[in-house]
């Protein structure tokens, strides 16, 4: 089992969905990512919070075994994101992004953190992602996630991060925005040409496309009945995926597919409630059960070759 280091936002979110509103709840890409990864391996979180950050939330990170030595508490206010979803919960509408203590945060990793083999640079300012990357000593796998906010304002820095990562995650809208192309297959290929050997394009409830050394794979999402708040689904997917790869310490093609299954199912839990409520309270065996159900749901029968043959070719028509 290898360790994982996760850098990203640690936030207080204000969220509106058709199922209700929640104010200043625990959020942030690194929070979701590290909770999800902690189910699989030892995780350390790197980020910053302000004096308004509830100490209980730090205790909850610790209770999940997440290392918080890299989580600074600074004078000022915690990063605050306010977003709204309509019935199409695949799209988040940002109302406000207040960087607060993240505005001038420059992380300084400990000697031990620099040696972590699996690194997830979750969604945050690309310059901060680069700062962390520059301090790492020969990591085995660097995964990167981002968002439209950074593509709009910091594309050059973000491109620098993408060029140096092994595994890039973007959602469909972000991939189209970054590549300035409508077709996702073209986008995936173009993103791989920048550097990462694996690119995941996430399509919310419609699953994910994976571009890797073996070609292109498609993974459906787990069909969720209780969709309350989709915030953090992408970060949870990525965190579980990286945690899984680190636990097995194997980035081979088969393990990658298993990691995506774990990520898909972990993400299906987080959306069932606000914040990290559901992921913090998974019962034993719940994840295993969903992975088994997902496999059952996507089982395809052997094709009936004869039935697929064109009637035209056989001379009937
Ligand atoms: P996701 O739904 O997986 O894209 O992640 C949503 C989380 O990302 C929320 O908890 C926010 O606090 C956080 N977030 C929103 N905007 C940003 C941003 N510009 N940079 C970093 N984190 C953000």
Ligand 1 probe mutation, 6, 8, 11, 82, most atoms within 8 A of CB = 11
Establish whether residue 233 lines the binding site of ligand 1, counting it when its CB lies within 6 angstroms of any ligand atom.
yes
pLDDT, position 305 = 92
Q: How far apart, in whole angstroms, are the C-alpha atoms of residue 305 and residue 146? A: 43
Given this model, what pLDDT does residue 37 score?
A: 98
Residue (of 55, 54, 56, 7) closest to 28 by Cα position? 7
For tokens 């699989």, name the residue.
40
CB 13 less than 6 A from any atom of ligand 1: yes
Contacts of 252 (CB under 8 A, 6+ apart): none
For ligand 1, say whether the CB of 187 is within 6 Å of any of its atoms: no
Instruction: State which residues form the domain around 284.
Output: 4-314
Read off φ and ψ for residue 214, nearest 5 degrees.
-85, 0
Measured in angstroms, how far is the CA atom of residue 246 from the centroid of ligand 1? 23
Q: Which residue, by CA, sits nearest to atom 19 of ligand 1?
A: 149
pLDDT of residue 314: 73
Residue 298 CA to residue 41 CA, distance in Å, equals 28
**Closest to 279 measured CA to CA, from 263, 297, 301, 298:** 263
Q: Give the residue among 128, 135, 130, 120 at the shortest CA–CA distance from 79.
A: 128
pLDDT of residue 224: 95
CB 218, CB 209: distance < 8 Å: yes
What sign has the CA pseudo-torsion 18, 21, 22, 27? positive
CA of 61 to the centre of ligand 1 (A): 18
Residue the block writes with tokens 């009637």: 311
Say how far apart CA 102 and CA 98 lie, in whole Å. 9
Structural domains in the chain (count): 1
Identify the DSSP state of 280: G
Q: What is the DSSP string of 50-61?
A: -TTS-HHHHHHH
Query: pTM for this one?
Result: 0.95
Ligand 1 pocket, residue 122 CB under 6 Å: no
Q: Which residue has the tokens 């400990």?
A: 110
For a ligand 1 pocket test, name from 7, 28, 149 the mutation site with the most ligand atoms within 8 angstroms of its C-beta.
Answer: 28
C-beta of 263 in contact with ligand 1 (< 6 A): no
Contact 177, 201 (CB under 8 A): no
State the CATH number of the domain containing residue 184: 3.40.1190.20
Burial of 313 from C-beta contacts in 10 A (0-12 / 13-18 / 19+) = exposed
CA triplet 96, 101, 107: central angle to 5 degrees?
A: 125
Q: What is the enclosing helix (H) or strand (E) of 11?
A: strand 11-17
DSSP 8-class letter at 276: T
Q: What is the pLDDT along the chain (317 residues), one digit of tens a residue?
A: 999 999 999 999 999 999 899 999 999 999 999 999 999 999 999 999 999 999 999 999 999 999 999 999 999 999 999 999 998 888 899 999 999 999 999 999 999 999 999 999 999 999 999 999 999 999 999 999 999 999 999 999 999 999 999 999 999 999 999 999 999 999 999 999 999 999 999 999 999 999 999 999 999 999 999 899 999 999 999 999 999 999 999 999 999 999 999 999 999 999 999 999 999 989 999 999 999 999 999 999 999 998 998 888 777 77
Residue 144 tokens read as 């990167």
> Does the C-beta of 67 come closer than 6 Å to ligand 1?
no
CA of 308 to the centre of ligand 1 (A): 46
The dihedral sign for the CA sequence 296, 302, 304, 305: positive
Quote the ligand 1 centre to 220 CA distance (angstroms). 23
Contact between 13 and 256 under an 8 Å Cβ cutoff? The reply is no
Residue reference for tokens 């620099």 = 114
Distance of alpha carbon 61 from its chain centroid, rounded?
18
């Amino acid at each position: 089992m290898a360790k994982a280091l996760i850098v990203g936002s640690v936030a207080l979110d204000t969220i509106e969905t058709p199922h209700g509103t929640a104010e200043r709840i625990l959020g942030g890409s690194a929070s979701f990512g590290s909770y999800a990864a902690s189910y699989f391996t030892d995780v350390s979180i790197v980020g910053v919070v302000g004096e308004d950050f509830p100490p209980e939330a730090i205790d909850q990170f610790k209770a999940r075994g997440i290392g918080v030595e890299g989580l600074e508490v600074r004078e000022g206010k915690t990063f605050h994101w306010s977003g709204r979803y309509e019935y199409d919960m695949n799209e988040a509408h940002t109302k406000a992004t207040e960087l607060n203590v993240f505005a001038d945060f420059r992380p300084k990793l400990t000697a031990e953190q620099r040696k972590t083999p699996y690194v997830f640079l979750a969604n945050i300012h690309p310059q901060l992602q680069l700062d962390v990357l520059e301090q790492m000593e020969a990591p085995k796998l660097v995964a990167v996630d981002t968002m439209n906010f950074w593509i709009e304002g910091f594309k050059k820095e973000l491109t620098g991060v993408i060029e140096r990562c092994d595994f890039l995650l973007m959602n469909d809208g972000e991939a189209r925005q970054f590549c300035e192309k409508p077709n996702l297959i073209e986008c995936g290929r173009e993103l791989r040409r920048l550097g990462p050997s694996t690119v995941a394009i996430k399509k919310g409830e419609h699953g994910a496309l994976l571009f890797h050394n073996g070609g292109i794979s498609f993974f459906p999402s787990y069909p969720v009945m209780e969709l309350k708040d989709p915030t953090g689904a992408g970060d949870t997917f990525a965190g579980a995926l990286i945690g899984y790869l680190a636990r097995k310490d194997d980035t081979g093609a088969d393990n990658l597919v298993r990691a995506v299954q774990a990520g898909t199912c972990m993400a299906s839990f987080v959306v069932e409630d606000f914040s990290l409520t559901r992921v913090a309270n998974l019962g034993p065996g719940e994840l295993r059960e969903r992975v088994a159900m997902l496999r059952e749901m996507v089982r395809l029968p052997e094709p009936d070759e004869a039935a697929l043959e064109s009637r035209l070719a056989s001379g009937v028509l």
